[in-house]
């Protein structure tokens, strides 16, 4: 036992500081994956103890009990018992408990003890406990629990030393396993009370600072005001830090593309590298800075304990449209881009609520729709003043944003009434103590999100971009052809075929065709339209606007705007839905419902607009 690898499983209640402890122990040496078939994260790390023994640490999801109502809890229990396929039973369980919240956390410690496996209890956040005047008789607690107890401060350098020394020593003797049934479980609280009476002195049930902050943060008026300010600042940051970096990456790839066309002879290879791979990578990597900036704030808010407060304030509103308070942040992120929004749904534990959030997130007006909106609104909507103060163009843009929000509410409401499972899903959310976010935990979290995005998505998106390039390039136009090359390609034929589908919406074949590349990335619709209308040069945008106004009607333009508000785009979003839900079925549902909604909305818009305009 003293040689070889020691497998340690880290368990504990949510908010016990378990992940911070895991980060402290393993640093950046972590592997993040998913348990097969579910979206529960599996985090593993390793480090070498002073004795030279390698310790392999598994960070299990935070759970309140082994009642196993959620997939996280089932997995945690199965792994600890050694019943999870492909996962060896841990040699040692380290149970982490927040020293300031022992009444809740000790109950879970007792549940873990009943499994009959070797356990060490880590009393975490001992520094905060001391500051708050909480006294814990560790020796007595150790004696009564019958397991080794060590003190840790996960957020301080060297704060896990006692734990490392303990797990590096002899594996403690396990208590005998006890049967798990409702009756004995009901007795656990009584045991906790006895333990607390004998070992813990608590001058005050809560932290005075938390009480003071919550009086403001949860105030019916000021609370909402604070939330609005926080969100406003986050969005400002995304646009003022993330957007320029994204644009720079896009420009960088354009530059590489431009040089490729100088170095390489014109032909399919140049086309593939320049229009396929370069453009594709540029699109994918262009998302990265905005995603990282957004996640920086989400992680910071999460670490600080503010996120559950935001969920508390908005839960009622979200519930009425089939969502939960926890859906708010992911949906808000989707206004920048649906990808971080969908990735952010990981903070929603309930699988049903999470799926609903993922399905409606793409309806939020993301920043990639803006170039299309800007082009069409600029070309078709006059600069009228409405009631003296409003600008008609601005009103149309606002209406499109509103359409996305109302659409999401409607879809959420429909999903709520359509699903077979009508059972009540709980909020039951703990509002943890406020904490100063630790740079290390934020950096590790960011690194993980970034890696997931790049590793898992780049392949899919790149493949799709190359396919898109292929169908818009081949077959090449015959010699002496007059029209643009895309006209003769597979995409050209598809566009003309799609025209029959889209004619009732007022789309001509050029628009139908531009919808194909728009599926890769919305903003490319503008470039595609420019190509098919064969306008080029520096005045492309102005020229294009002119070409559009002469080629199609206001009714068509309105219909196209509505289409972009709801249509199933872009494929990166669909790829991230696949990745986050592990199911092509959800991708299909998402694609088809958005197609149906977009089609119906555009059809109504076009037909009604034609009557009046």
Partner 1 sequence: MRLSELPKGASAVVERVEDTHDNDPIAQRLRDLGFVEGERVRLVARGPIGADPLLVQIGYTRFALRRSEAARVSVQQEQA
Could you tell me which of 82, 40, 79 has the C-alpha nearest to residue 61? 40
Give yes or no for a contact between 147 and 115, defined as CB atoms under 8 angstroms apart. no
Q: Mask of contacts with partner 1, 254-293, x by CB under 8 A? A: ----------------------------------------
Is residue 344 within the footprint of partner 1 (CB under 8 A)? no
Choose which of 67, 127, 140, 448 interacts with partner 1 (CB under 8 A).
67
Assigned token pair, 30: 């972590």
Question: Which of residues 33 and 198 has its CB atom nearest to partner 1 in the complex?
Answer: 198
Residue 16: CB minimum distance to partner 1, A: 11
Residue 435: CB minimum distance to partner 1, A: 14
Classify 143 as helix, strand or coil.
helix
Give yes or no for a contact between 501 and 487, defined as CB atoms under 8 angstroms apart. no
Question: Which of residues 424 and 538 has its CB atom nearest to partner 1 in the complex?
Answer: 424
Choose which of 29, 31, 156, 189 interacts with partner 1 (CB under 8 A).
189
Q: Which residues contact 259 (CB under 8 A, 6 or more apart)?
A: none
Is residue 412 within the footprint of partner 1 (CB under 8 A)? no
Residue 315: CB minimum distance to partner 1, A: 5
Stretch 347-376 residues interacting with partner 1 (CB under 8 A): none
Give yes or no for a contact between 108 and 136, defined as CB atoms under 8 angstroms apart. no
Q: Is the omega angle on the peptide bond into residue 570 within 30 degrees of 0, that is, cis? A: yes
Q: Mask of contacts with partner 1, 218-237, x by CB under 8 A? A: x-xx-xx-------------
Is residue 69 within the footprint of partner 1 (CB under 8 A)? yes
Write phi, then psi, for 235 (nearest 5 degrees): -65, -40
Is residue 428 within the footprint of partner 1 (CB under 8 A)? yes
Residue 1 CA, distance from chain mean position: 41
Assigned token pair, 492: 């050209």
Residue 138: CB minimum distance to partner 1, A: 18
Selected range binding partner 1 among 198-206, 240-248, 499-507, 536-544, rule: CB under 8 A: 198-206
Is residue 102 within the footprint of partner 1 (CB under 8 A)? yes
Residue in this structure with the two tokens 């957007």, named with its chain if needed: 243
Choose which of 87, 275, 303, 315 interacts with partner 1 (CB under 8 A).
315
Selected range binding partner 1 among 251-259, 317-325, 337-345, 413-421, rule: CB under 8 A: 317-325
Other CB atoms within 10 A of residue 155 CB: 22
Give yes or no for a contact between 527 and 585, defined as CB atoms under 8 angstroms apart. no
Run of H or E residues at 525 = helix 524-532
Selected range binding partner 1 among 316-324, 412-420, 518-526, 601-609, rule: CB under 8 A: 316-324
Q: Is the omega angle on the peptide bond into residue 257 within 30 degrees of 0, that is, cis? A: no
Bridge pairing between strands 149-151 and 41-48: unpaired
Q: How far is CA 567 from CA 406, 543, 553, 570, 574, in A?
A: 15, 26, 20, 9, 12
Is residue 424 within the footprint of partner 1 (CB under 8 A)? yes
Q: Where does this chain bind partner 1 (CB under 8 A)?
A: 64-65, 67, 69, 100-104, 107, 185-186, 189, 202, 205-206, 210, 214, 218, 220-221, 223-224, 308, 311-313, 315-317, 319, 325, 424, 426-431
């Amino acid at each position: 036992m003293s040689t070889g690898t020691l497998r340690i499983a880290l368990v504990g209640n949510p908010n016990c500081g378990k992940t911070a402890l895991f980060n402290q122990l393993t640093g950046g040496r972590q592997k993040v994956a998913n348990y097969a078939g579910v979206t529960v994260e599996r985090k593993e790390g390793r480090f070498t103890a002073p004795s030279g023994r390698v310790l392999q640490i598994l960070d299990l999801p935070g759970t309140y009990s082994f009642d196993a109502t959620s997939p996280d809890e089932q997995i945690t229990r199965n792994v600890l018992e050694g019943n999870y396929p492909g996962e060896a039973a841990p040699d040692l369980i380290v149970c982490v408990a927040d020293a300031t919240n022992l009444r809740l956390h000790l109950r879970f410690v007792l549940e873990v003890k009943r499994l009959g496996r070797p356990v060490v209890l880590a009393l975490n956040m001992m520094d905060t406990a001391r500051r708050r005047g909480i006294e814990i008789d560790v020796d007595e607690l150790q004696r009564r629990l019958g397991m080794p107890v060590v003190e840790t401060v996960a957020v301080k350098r060297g704060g896990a030393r006692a734990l490392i020394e303990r797990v590096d020593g002899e594996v403690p003797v396990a208590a005998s396993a006890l049967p798990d049934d409702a009756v004995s479980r009901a007795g656990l609280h009584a045991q906790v009370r006895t333990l607390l009476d004998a070992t813990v002195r608590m001058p005050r049930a809560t932290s005075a600072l938390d009480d003071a902050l919550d009086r403001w943060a949860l105030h019916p008026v000021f609370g909402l005001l604070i939330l609005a300010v926080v969100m406003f600042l986050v969005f400002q940051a995304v646009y003022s830090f993330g957007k320029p970096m994204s644009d720079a990456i896009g420009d960088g790839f354009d530059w590489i593309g431009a040089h490729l066309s100088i170095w390489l002879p014109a032909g399919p290879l140049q086309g593939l590298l320049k229009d396929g791979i370069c453009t594709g990578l540029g699109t994918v990597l262009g998302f990265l800075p905005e995603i990282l900036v957004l996640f920086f704030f989400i992680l910071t808010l999460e670490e600080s304990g503010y996120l559950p407060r935001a969920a508390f304030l908005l839960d009622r509103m979200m519930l009425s449209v089939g969502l939960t308070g926890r859906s708010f942040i992911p949906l808000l992120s989707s206004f920048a881009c649906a990808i971080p929004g969908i990735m952010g749904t990981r903070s929603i534990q309930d699988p049903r609520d999470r799926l609903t959030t993922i399905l409606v997130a793409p309806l939020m007006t993301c920043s990639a729709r803006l170039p299309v909106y800007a082009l069409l609104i600029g070309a078709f909507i006059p600069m009228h003043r409405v009631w003296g103060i409003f600008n008609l163009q601005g009103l149309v843009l606002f209406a499109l944003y509103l359409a996305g929000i109302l659409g999401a509410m409607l879809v959420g409401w429909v999903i709520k009434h359509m699903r077979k499972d009508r059972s009540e899903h709980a909020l039951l959310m703990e509002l943890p103590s406020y904490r100063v976010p630790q740079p290390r935990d934020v950096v590790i979290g960011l690194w993980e999100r970034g890696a997931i995005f790049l590793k898992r998505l780049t392949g899919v998106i790149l493949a799709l971009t190359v396919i898109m390039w292929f169908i818009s390039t081949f077959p090449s136009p015959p010699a002496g052809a007059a029209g643009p090359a895309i006209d003769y390609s597979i995409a050209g034929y598809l566009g003309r075929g799609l025209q029959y589908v889209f004619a009732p919406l007022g789309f001509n074949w050029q628009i139908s065709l531009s919808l194909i590349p728009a599926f890769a990335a919305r903003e490319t619709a503008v470039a595609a339209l420019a190509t098919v209308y064969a306008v080029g040069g520096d005045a492309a945008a102005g020229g294009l606007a002119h070409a559009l106004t002469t080629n199609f009607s206001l009714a068509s333009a309105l219909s196209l705007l509505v289409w972009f508000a709801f249509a199933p785009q872009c494929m990166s979003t669909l790829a991230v839905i696949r990745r986050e839900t592990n199911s092509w079925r959800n991708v299909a549902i998402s694609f088809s419902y958005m197609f149906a909604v977009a089609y119906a909305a555009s059809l109504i818009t076009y037909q009604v607009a034609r009557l009046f305009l």
